[in-house]
Structure 1
Amino acid sequence: MPQPTTDVIAIGNAIVDVMAPCQDVLIERLGLLKGGMTLIDTARAHELYEAMGPAREISGGSAANTLAGLAALGAKCAFIGQVADDQLGEVFAHDIRAGGIAFDTAARAGDPPTARCLIFVTPDGQRTMNTFLGASQFLPPAALDEAAIADAKILYLEGYLWDPEEPRAAMRRAIAAAKNAGRKVAFTLSDAFVIERHGADFRAMIETGEIDILFANHVELEALTGHGDFDAGLAELAPKVPLLVVTRGADGAVAVHEGQRFEVKAEPIERVVDTTGAGDLFAAGFLYGHVRDLAIDQCLTIGAVAAAEIISHYGARPEADLKALIKARLG
């Protein structure tokens, strides 16, 4: 079997984040689910955009954010995702390639337009996301580069993209391609609402050994296992997955590998500005360590450092030198 030349190839939503600070009263007035992620249609997207204050446009998407962190750390990465042939599609493609990430998925002509996520950030750092999935929902299996998937150590899949039919079929095909090449498949559950809709699929994939590395947060762990008690949920799920990684916000993170439990505390920061992308960057740090065969506790620490950097500023792409932060932390 040839050695892979790419560290991580990811499939995810190709989204441009539109972010603006706001007060809690606006969240209430607009009837938004504070701290959550809600899928919206075109009309609601226009309504919320009109209500936003001055905003920043930053290329986003959960898996793409993870790759941005990985690339910043020095990993070789590639992305598969669908944009439209429009201005935001060009913004997304430029940003991800400028970050050193290979992106060769052809733009889609016509409607719907490129996906965007309208993010309202309250003074406590909580982000309330409202996502118009647009063109990203129409990633066809034919868009996959199976040779590129076979050439990567890890295929990383974004749970959010499991919802629409075409990308779900594409990801199933990608899993088969990765497994046929003897590569690992990593999956992030993304959100409790995704589990509510597709939990049966995810549990089946876990049972049949299609997932080698599973990323979740404590809320998603409860949604998947039905256990309100964290340790009970962990005890049920961990034996079914070769490597389980669960983040707990300010309480740090836990990984279970081959029956052994590892824990890391959250890195201290002066102030939480915006929690957008914290889980994405934690996954980036963890995977960076993992593809370099570092010990699990070191992988967790790198994840915690990357997550702390991302919540110290607006946006889900790193601004500080992650390599320097990791070196200072690990020596």
Structure 2
Amino acid sequence: MAPASEEDIARLEMAKGGMTLVDAARAHHLYDAMGPAREISGGSAANTLAGLAALGADCAFIGQVAQDQLGEVFAHDIRAGGIAFATPARAGDPSTARCLIFVTPDGQRTMNTFLGASQFLPADALDETTIAAAKVLYLEGYLWDPEEPRRAMQRAIGAARDAGREVAFTLSDAFVIARHGDDFRALIAAGQIDILFANEHELAALTGCADADDGIAKLAPQVPVLVVTHGENGAQAIAHGQRARVDAAPVAHVVDTTGAGDLFAAGFLFGHVRGAALETCLKLGAACAAEVISHYGARPEADIKALVAPLLG
């Protein structure tokens, strides 16, 4: 990731604030156009697990990297964070996935993602024993796009349901919904999703309702726990008919919004698996999101376990 001007975003024809899938050639072109950059391990679900592990949860990650330097860095970083990661690296092309992130002075992140090896996660890489042992299986919508990880996630959902575990799903981005919204709506209608994370844009794309309240009213009866984030306007959740809303946690200066949703999910899920009240879960999410947007990168730098301790009593 690297700082960028508004002019850079326009010159490179990027969609500010969004996430765009790019091929290897475009990824190389954008990398060459970047200023001095920071290389930081990321990935939506991996970021959420990094937050959960930092909070004290036991976590395991299933995902695909290649046998290259970036794959080694990713594997090192996630294991160093205390997260079990046993998926073998993939030989040959393509290389490990990367996301080229341009951060404008307002803290907004514009992401360009080359899925690389991550789009070839095979279903047989799943550790169903680990899935069955987890309280929650957490999945990201980004990887619904490629065929192999989509099949792997479908199999993972089946393993979690068979074991009586909860399935949490983040919609990830409106463009993913534009491509696969019918799949997501079918999963929800079939009762396969227990906890759904969405921001206002994703909610509108999934429900067809421009007004967030209308979208929530339409979707909440179909999902046991619905969590909707509103950026600087806080977040709300509806769980089994109970509703709670919290303000965004204060931030002295927004540096980089990358990972805000990922870390919000981490805080919320940490509270959820501990049986915390719905409002407390939201406050935990808001606190973790506030920490990650106060610096570059999508993984916490501060001791978020100590940060959230007052919220847990």
Q: Which bin holds the TM-score, normalised by the shorter protein?
A: over 0.9
Q: How many equivalent residue pairs?
A: 313
Which one of the candidate residues 277, 288, 296 is aligned to 1:295? 277
**Residue 252 (structure 1) aligns with:** 234
Query: If each structure's strand is expressed as a fraction of its own residues, which one has the higher value?
Result: 1
Q: In the alignment, residue 261 of structure 2 is paired with which amino acid?
A: G
Conserved? CA contact 2:109–2:256, under 8 Å: yes
1:132 matched to 2:114? The reply is yes
1:241 matched to 2:231? The reply is no
Which one of the candidate residues 139, 147, 160 is aligned to 1:178? 160
- Root-mean-square deviation (CA, aligned residues, Å) is 0.7
Return the offset for 1:144.
Answer: 0.5
Measured in 2, the distance between the counterparts of 1:22 and 1:190 equals 23
Measured in 2, the distance between the counterparts of 1:107 and 1:324 equals 34
**Residue 22 (structure 1) aligns with:** 4
Measured in 2, the distance between the counterparts of 1:121 and 1:111 equals 29
Return the offset for 1:258.
Answer: 1.0
Instruction: Show CA shifts across 1:295-323 (max 9, x none).
Output: 11100000000000011010000001101
Which one of the candidate residues 274, 299, 303 is aligned to 1:317? 299
Return the offset for 1:167.
Answer: 0.3
Q: In the alignment, residue 256 of structure 1 is paired with which amino acid?
A: I
Alignment of 1:272-311 (within 5 A): 272-311=254-293
Which one of the candidate residues 118, 132, 135 is aligned to 1:153? 135
**Residue 215 (structure 1) aligns with:** 197
Structure 2's unaligned 5+ residue stretches are none
Return the offset for 1:330.
Answer: 4.9
**Residue 104 (structure 2) aligns with:** 122
**Residue 89 (structure 2) aligns with:** 107
Secondary structure of 1:56 counterpart: coil
Return the offset for 1:181.
Answer: 0.5
Instruction: Show CA shifts across 1:259-299 (max 9, x none).
Output: 12110100111111100000000000000001111111100
Which one of the candidate residues 235, 243, 249 is aligned to 1:267? 249
Measured in 1, the distance between the counterparts of 2:79 and 2:308 equals 24
Q: In the alignment, residue 213 of structure 2 is paired with which amino acid?
A: D
**Residue 181 (structure 2) aligns with:** 199
Measured in 1, the distance between the counterparts of 2:311 and 2:188 equals 34
Which one of the candidate residues 123, 126, 137 is aligned to 1:144? 126
Return the offset for 1:255.
Answer: 0.2
Which one of the candidate residues 18, 22, 32 is aligned to 2:14? 32
Measured in 2, the distance between the counterparts of 1:119 and 1:276 equals 8
Measured in 2, the distance between the counterparts of 1:260 and 1:226 equals 24
Q: In the alignment, residue 325 of structure 1 is paired with which amino acid?
A: L
Conserved? CA contact 2:131–2:137, under 8 Å: yes
Return the offset for 1:23.
Answer: 1.0
Measured in 1, the distance between the counterparts of 2:309 and 2:92 equals 46
Conserved? CA contact 2:280–2:311, under 8 Å: no
**Residue 64 (structure 2) aligns with:** 82
Measured in 2, the distance between the counterparts of 1:189 and 1:180 equals 23
Secondary structure of 2:295 counterpart: coil
TM-score (structure 2 length as normaliser): 0.99
Instruction: Show CA shifts across 1:15-58 (max 9, x none).
Output: xxxx1111111111101101110000011011000000111111
Which one of the candidate residues 113, 138, 149 is aligned to 1:167? 149
Structure 1's unaligned 5+ residue stretches are 1-18
Measured in 1, the distance between the counterparts of 2:87 and 2:72 equals 12
1:224 matched to 2:237? The reply is no
Return the offset for 1:328.
Answer: 3.8
Q: Kindly, what percent of the aligned residue pairs are identical?
A: 75
1:94 matched to 2:85? The reply is no
